[in-house]
Structure 1
């Protein structure tokens, strides 16, 4: 793989994230970008819960998928794009907290397929509580019309 400029990568990820209507709807914010790792934070909002008041599994999955995808963007060339082709989510504890942190980390970079793992945490006054994990598989897209970073 070619050398990737971290400043260019961060700017690209921030521009792309700003175009995500889903993350905007959820009120999600990028909080950390580094080589192989991206974190997204989200405030508790009753509109994002299921019937028991816990953060909805679909919201958790969307945030983890996005964190894993952008972590993958930190290890690819600027001219390529990515699409998630598979993920598995384990919901380990109810999504109960004031804020939530979703971290995506690259497990296996590749030229065609990238594997990332994600962890979701509920944040309160005490220690962060692990609420979910994800394993994500992403396909690298090159030169396909209509699909760009």
Structure 2
């Protein structure tokens, strides 16, 4: 890893993502092979039955997995693939995606993520789990060589 990332740097990286800003995502924990992303569940993020849309859960898993990988492998990363299993409908006031590194290799980092909703009383309910492989890009692969 050629750069040192900490929570404040990672939060700036998240803030540079227009889609994350649109959703109102916040990175609340980062480091030592883990990352936690949160976002408020709003009516405009729900599907027709009133539950949080699965695409929002997928977004949260993807970003949390990649940030967890970034805590051990640096900033030059891309999601190579991930799977998500929806365990129950996501209902509550807050979505929390907690990801951690399972194995960090030189070119790939495998991570796991638990996605929970939190209700108004603070009770968390696991609603989905995800696992992903994050690719570590070579300098020549990064946009503009950065």
Corresponding residue number in structure 2 for 1:84: 79
Counterpart pick for 1:14 among 1, 11, 14: 11
**Structure 1 residue 130 and structure 2 residue 126: aligned?**
yes
| Stretch of structure 1 that moved more, 112-121 or 12-21 | 12-21
Q: Secondary structure at the match of 2:143?
A: coil
* Partner Cα distance (2:56, 2:145) in 1: 24
Correspondence for 2:99: 104
Normalising by structure 1, report the TM-score.
0.88
C-alpha contact 1:91 1:132 (8 A) present in aligned 2? yes
Q: In structure 1, what is the Cα distance between the partners aligned to 2:98 and 2:145?
A: 23
Q: Distance in 1 between matches of 2:31 and 2:19?
A: 23
CA distance in 1, matches of 2:63, 2:144: 16
Q: How far apart, CA to CA, are the structure 1 residues paired with 2:38 and 2:100?
A: 15
Q: Work out the CA distance in 2 between the residues paired with 1:27 and 1:133.
A: 21
Q: Secondary structure at the match of 1:95?
A: coil
Q: Distance in 2 between the 1:131 and 1:86 partners? A: 20
